[in-house]
Structure 1
Amino acid sequence: MPRQNLRILLVEDHPFQLISIQVLLNNQGHFLLTPALNAAEAFSAMQRSEEPFDLLLCDQGLPDLPGLELIDQAWRKAMVRQAILLSGVDDEALQALGANARQRGIPLLGCLSKPLHGPDLARLLANLPETDT
């Protein structure tokens, strides 16, 4: 059963998609959400946070930094515990992003296609390791 108290940083540059993902997460019982429209806003939110976010849910196609780079930098600075990458690219490109993350040692739970589907997200969140938060 997924934890309902996850602190999630959600980074998506399209406001409509940002809202729809927030609604999807709320419908799955996740309410501790911090939205950001780009990498700069995400870093600002991470710097203000006293604890690392449990999860960084991040779009790959951000205007100021590729999502995988944001995840890598945030993880190396201990600002996030785990991450899920979102992208509208085809399945082959999505698999390549996942392979790139694994090669670099980035703690990626997985890569999901956009538009995001609730069951796919729930499946990945169910695999999120327990933390002390």
Structure 2
Amino acid sequence: MGASSSAFAQDMVSVADLGRRYGIFYFYASTCAACRVQNPILYSLRRQGLPVMAISQDEGPNPYFPDYKIDGKLGQRLGVPRNITPTLAAFDSLLRQTVILGSGVIEGRVIVEGLLHLLRQSGGAI
């Protein structure tokens, strides 16, 4: 992890603060190799206080998120393609809006930076 891990470690309190306003919808498939890489990244963020809801698009379990949900219509309502995993969406509990953060493996620091960007765009209140 190198230099980025120490910079990321400084954001641990910020992750908990961000978790008071934002949560992550994590759309995955149990057979997806990229999802197996994304799992521990999101698990780490969850342990730091960022709510993560894992949503299975193939009804398969997730060893990092035993409380996973099976995707009904949520992915479709948010515009998440069923065959592109992993896909992350941020839910803003203050504005009650969801924004797609991206698809593919996304590093933890990039997720945090994305949430900080959303926070700045909305005026900065947690």
Greater relative contact order structure (CA < 8 Å, 6+ sep) = 2
TM-score (norm 1): 0.42
Please identify the structure whose Cα radius of gyration is greater.
2
TM-score (norm 2): 0.44
